[in-house]
Amino acid sequence: MTTKYILAIDQGTTSSRAILFDQTGQIKGIAQQDFSQYYPHSGWVEHEPDDIYSSVLATCRQVMAEQQVSAEQIAAIGVTNQRETTLVWDKTTGKPIYRAIVWQDRRTADYCQQLSTPETEAQLQAKTGLLLDPYFSATKIRWILDNVPNARQQAEAGQLAFGTVDSYLIWQLTGGKQHRTDATNASRTLLFNIHQQQWDDELLALFDIPASMLPEVMDSADEFGITQQSILGAAIPILGVAGDQQAALFGHACFSEGMAKSTYGTGGFVMLNTGDKALKSNNRLLTTVAYRLKGKTTYAIEGSIFMAGGIIKWLVENMQLIPSAKETANMAQQVPLEHGVYLVPSFTGLGAPHWDPDARGAILGLTRDSRKEHIASAALQSVAYQSKDLQKAMQLDGLRPTTLRVDGGMVNNDWFLDFLSNMLGAVVERPQITETTALGAAYLAGIQAGIFDFEQLSALWHCEQSFSPSMSAEQRNKLYNGWLDAVQRVKS
């Protein structure tokens, strides 16, 4: 009973996972559960809040049972979550008044267009580091208040709470005792001033959102609350919280200015540490909070790709063109790199640096000779091309990472990482522990629990395999120019 573990809750877009880490940061056990996605209209993406919470509970209980670890042996819980996804619930009952509106959802595109003026865009970027886009939480909250019967009246009476997924889980796990978030998640709402590190009254007025709905903003390693004893068998403190991409940056030990990571889950996200400076991007990248420890904020520049591993899932489940994600590497090897087929996965619009909510997906360059192997290759290549888009934007901002630490489900594919390295002209490093998002949450909780020392964490990161570029600049440019042409064809 003396061994202490950290339980990391990794609540993602298509599944929830619970991972037990020991005191050296090694994985003891993993449990995962998928849940349903809902698409009521074109560009709309929703989750059932009950699915989110029940899958979290089920995976926590499963991993504890399988590893025969009791709640008393768990020193702390760390939470990491899909960001920007928006929930609004009744403070008395704890019941959501609408489904969770997922980060990919584009229903507020028209509202963003109506709100858009050069002055408003400049104000939002200056205060939040973000762009006016349906991606972020504020317009989703506004939509719920304006479209769910009686929601606005309830909100103005102080009866409703807003939260990103972390806040919703904290509320549920603590039996409604704590309504809290951390600075990384707050920084993705379009309502949080990242320089003053507080909710911004002018932005709340702009989006017409009552301040009473908002959670308290904490450090990323902090005292978020204690779980109800009945949930996991004992009261466990929640001591670390970070949005998934920031947690991955932390798990990769990208603590020095200029260090960068890229995560390839449902979407793809490149994030570069900029230290204590919130650098403004002139190329439509996002300035965001990387983490906040002991009141000190570290910032990052980020580029977001809406579809990465989600493309492969679409090919497997929707199109049934390939039997499984594992087959894509073998299929891609069967066709030349320059096969002429491009898949632009703008199913819910294009992310950075294009920010086009109305673009839709397309497969271009098909001929009578085209086979499913070409499409599998084009799907993998599209993720590398989108990463190249982000690298180009960072380069124009004066930031060019020469080494990229990677994680997420796609990084088990050597063919993809080799092509990614060639397309970026940069070294790509895959760590020994690829569950980096959950690891970051565990590190944060472990710091607060006194298990980990921040200064020692860098030594825990180990490279499992490195990929170096070998492609000629001529071939790289030819392939990438074909991609740029394809993107122009799908833009609205």
* 457 is a domain residue: no
Task: Give the domain CATH number at 187.
Answer: 3.30.420.40
- Asked, for residue 79, whether it belongs to a domain, the answer is yes
pLDDT in tens, the chain (492 residues): 467 999 999 999 989 999 999 998 999 999 999 999 999 998 899 999 999 999 999 999 999 999 999 999 999 999 999 999 999 999 999 999 999 999 989 999 999 999 999 999 999 999 999 999 998 999 999 999 999 999 999 999 999 999 999 999 999 999 999 999 999 999 999 999 999 999 999 999 999 999 999 999 999 999 999 999 999 999 999 999 999 999 999 999 999 998 999 999 888 999 999 999 999 888 889 999 999 999 999 999 999 888 899 999 999 999 999 999 899 999 999 999 999 999 999 987 888 888 887 889 999 999 999 999 999 999 999 999 999 999 999 989 888 888 899 998 899 999 999 999 999 999 999 999 988 999 999 999 999 999 998 888 988 899 999 999 999 999 999 999 999 999 999 987
265 within a domain of the structure (yes/no) = no
Nearest residue to 213 via CA among 255, 179, 263, 236: 179
CA distance 315 to 298: 38
Residue 52 and residue 33 in contact, taking contact as beta carbons nearer than 8 Å: no
H runs (alpha helix) in 208-327: 229-232, 244-251, 309-313
Per-residue CA distances from 477 to 226, 417, 480 (Å): 53, 18, 5
The distance of Cα 8 from the centroid of its chain, to the nearest Å, equals: 16
C-alpha neighbours within 13 Å on the C-beta side of residue 43:
15
CB-CB contact of 341 with 333 (8 Å)? no
Q: Does the residue 467 lie in any domain?
A: no
What's the maximum distance between 2 C-alpha atoms anywhere in the chain? 65
pLDDT tens digits, one per residue of 425-445: 999 999 999 889 999 999 999
Query: What is the pLDDT at residue 43?
Result: 86
**299 assigned to some structural domain:** no
User: What confidence score (pLDDT) does residue 482 get?
Assistant: 96
Residue 202 lies in a domain: yes
Place of tokens 């507080």: 198
DSSP 58-118: HHHHHHHHHTT--GGGEEEEEEEE-SS-BEEEETTT--BSSPEEPTT--TTHHHHHHH--H
The pLDDT value given to residue 19: 98
pLDDT single digits (tens) 246-257: 999 999 999 999
| Tokens, residue 389 | 């888009």
Range of the domain at 95: 5-245
CA distance 193 to 203: 9
Task: Give the model's pLDDT for residue 348.
Answer: 79
Cα-Cα-Cα-Cα torsion 13, 17, 20, 24, nearest 10 degrees, comes to -30
Place of tokens 């009686």: 150
Q: Which residue has the tokens 């199109």?
A: 319
Contact 406, 387 (CB under 8 A): no
Number of domains, the chain: 1
Residue 396 covered by a domain: no
Q: Which residues contact 424 (CB under 8 A, 6 or more apart)?
A: 384, 387, 388, 391, 404, 469
Provide the pLDDT for residue 304: 86
- The per-residue pLDDT for 447 is 95
Alpha helices in 174-269 (DSSP H): 183-186, 201-207, 229-232, 244-251
* pLDDT for position 76: 97
Rounded CA-CA distance 440/491 in Å is: 36
Rounded Cα distance, 395 and 425, in Å:
13
Q: Which amino acid is at 219?
A: D
pLDDT score at 2: 63
* Torsion on CA atoms 393, 286, 273, 238, rounded to nearest 10: -150
16 found inside a domain: yes
Burial class (CB in 10 A: 0-12, 13-18, 19+), 336: exposed
Residue with tokens 């009476």: 157
